[in-house]
Amino acid sequence: MSNRRPGLPGVGGRPSNALKKMIQVKARADISLNGGGMWNPIASAPFGRNLELAVIDEDGLHALVFPCRKVQEGWRDAVTGVRVDIRPTHWRDWEAENRQAGSLPAPA
Protein backbone atom coordinates (compact mmCIF):
# COMPACT_ATOMS: atom_id res chain seq x y z
CA MET A 1 0.00 0.00 0.00
CA SER A 2 1.39 3.40 -1.01
CA ASN A 3 1.46 6.43 1.24
CA ARG A 4 1.06 8.78 -1.76
CA ARG A 5 -1.80 11.21 -1.48
CA PRO A 6 -3.83 11.60 -4.67
CA GLY A 7 -3.35 14.89 -6.51
CA LEU A 8 0.10 15.66 -5.12
CA PRO A 9 2.84 14.86 -7.64
CA GLY A 10 6.16 14.14 -6.00
CA VAL A 11 7.80 11.45 -3.92
CA GLY A 12 5.92 9.55 -1.21
CA GLY A 13 2.98 11.96 -1.31
CA ARG A 14 5.21 15.00 -0.78
CA PRO A 15 4.70 17.81 -3.31
CA SER A 16 7.45 18.34 -5.89
CA ASN A 17 9.54 21.53 -5.79
CA ALA A 18 7.66 22.90 -8.81
CA LEU A 19 4.32 22.27 -7.12
CA LYS A 20 5.58 23.93 -3.91
CA LYS A 21 6.56 27.03 -5.91
CA MET A 22 3.15 27.12 -7.59
CA ILE A 23 1.44 26.85 -4.21
CA GLN A 24 3.64 29.63 -2.83
CA VAL A 25 2.84 31.94 -5.74
CA LYS A 26 -0.86 31.20 -5.39
CA ALA A 27 -0.66 31.99 -1.67
CA ARG A 28 1.03 35.32 -2.44
CA ALA A 29 -1.76 36.40 -4.82
CA ASP A 30 -3.79 37.98 -2.04
CA ILE A 31 -1.00 40.15 -0.59
CA SER A 32 0.51 43.40 -1.80
CA LEU A 33 4.14 43.22 -2.94
CA ASN A 34 6.61 46.05 -3.56
CA GLY A 35 4.01 48.71 -2.79
CA GLY A 36 1.90 47.77 -5.82
CA GLY A 37 -1.66 46.58 -6.07
CA MET A 38 -2.95 43.14 -5.31
CA TRP A 39 -1.89 40.19 -7.50
CA ASN A 40 -4.66 38.34 -9.33
CA PRO A 41 -4.73 34.79 -10.74
CA ILE A 42 -3.65 34.77 -14.39
CA ALA A 43 -6.94 33.19 -15.49
CA SER A 44 -8.67 36.49 -14.72
CA ALA A 45 -6.26 38.67 -16.76
CA PRO A 46 -8.17 41.13 -18.95
CA PHE A 47 -7.52 41.91 -22.63
CA GLY A 48 -6.57 45.43 -23.76
CA ARG A 49 -4.85 46.71 -20.60
CA ASN A 50 -1.20 47.19 -19.64
CA LEU A 51 -0.43 44.56 -17.01
CA GLU A 52 2.47 43.64 -14.76
CA LEU A 53 2.99 39.88 -14.87
CA ALA A 54 4.55 37.48 -12.38
CA VAL A 55 6.40 34.40 -13.66
CA ILE A 56 8.34 31.45 -12.24
CA ASP A 57 11.67 30.51 -13.81
CA GLU A 58 14.72 28.50 -12.74
CA ASP A 59 15.78 31.39 -10.46
CA GLY A 60 12.46 31.71 -8.65
CA LEU A 61 9.56 34.15 -8.69
CA HIS A 62 9.81 37.40 -10.65
CA ALA A 63 7.71 40.33 -11.76
CA LEU A 64 8.44 41.35 -15.36
CA VAL A 65 9.99 44.82 -15.69
CA PHE A 66 7.91 45.82 -18.72
CA PRO A 67 4.16 45.99 -19.25
CA CYS A 68 2.40 43.28 -21.24
CA ARG A 69 -0.96 43.01 -22.96
CA LYS A 70 -3.02 39.85 -23.23
CA VAL A 71 -3.89 39.03 -26.86
CA GLN A 72 -5.63 36.06 -28.50
CA GLU A 73 -2.34 34.25 -29.20
CA GLY A 74 -0.79 34.89 -25.76
CA TRP A 75 1.15 37.93 -24.52
CA ARG A 76 2.79 40.96 -26.16
CA ASP A 77 5.14 43.64 -24.85
CA ALA A 78 2.76 46.60 -24.42
CA VAL A 79 5.41 49.09 -25.65
CA THR A 80 6.98 47.30 -28.63
CA GLY A 81 4.15 44.94 -29.60
CA VAL A 82 6.61 42.03 -29.79
CA ARG A 83 5.20 38.62 -28.80
CA VAL A 84 6.51 37.46 -25.42
CA ASP A 85 6.82 33.69 -24.86
CA ILE A 86 5.97 33.43 -21.15
CA ARG A 87 3.67 31.48 -18.89
CA PRO A 88 2.72 33.98 -16.18
CA THR A 89 1.05 32.91 -12.96
CA HIS A 90 -0.36 36.24 -11.72
CA TRP A 91 -1.07 39.77 -12.91
CA ARG A 92 -1.86 43.25 -11.63
CA ASP A 93 -2.39 46.61 -13.31
CA TRP A 94 0.84 48.17 -14.60
CA GLU A 95 1.97 51.30 -12.77
CA ALA A 96 5.05 53.31 -13.77
CA GLU A 97 6.74 52.68 -10.41
CA ASN A 98 6.37 48.91 -10.93
CA ARG A 99 9.10 49.08 -13.61
CA GLN A 100 11.67 48.84 -10.78
CA ALA A 101 9.85 46.06 -8.93
CA GLY A 102 12.27 43.31 -10.04
CA SER A 103 12.12 39.99 -8.21
CA LEU A 104 9.34 39.13 -5.84
CA PRO A 105 10.50 38.38 -2.30
CA ALA A 106 11.07 34.74 -1.38
CA PRO A 107 8.18 33.09 0.48
CA ALA A 108 8.40 33.17 4.27
User: How many domains does the chain contain in total?
Assistant: 1
Q: Which of 24-33, 35-44, 75-84, 93-102 has the lowest mean pLDDT?
A: 24-33
What is the per-residue pLDDT across 40-71, written as a single tens digit (0 to 9) for each? 999 999 999 999 999 988 888 889 999 999 99
Tell whether 52 is covered by a domain. Answer: yes
- Tell which residue, 57, 67, 68, 46, has the closest CA to residue 103: 57
Say what the pTM is: 0.58
Alpha-carbon gap, residue 97 to 87, rounded angstroms: 23
Tell whether 51 is covered by a domain. Answer: yes
pLDDT above 90 as % of the chain: 44
Tell whether 108 is covered by a domain. Answer: no
Tell whether 91 is covered by a domain. Answer: yes
Average pLDDT across the chain, whole number? 72
- Tell which residue, 5, 45, 53, has the closest CA to residue 25: 53
Which pLDDT does position 16 carry in this prediction? Answer: 56
Tell whether 10 is covered by a domain. Answer: no
Look up the domain containing 26 and give its range.
17-100
Tell whether 12 is covered by a domain. Answer: no
What is the per-residue pLDDT across 75-93, written as a single tens digit (0 to 9) for each? 999 999 999 999 999 999 9
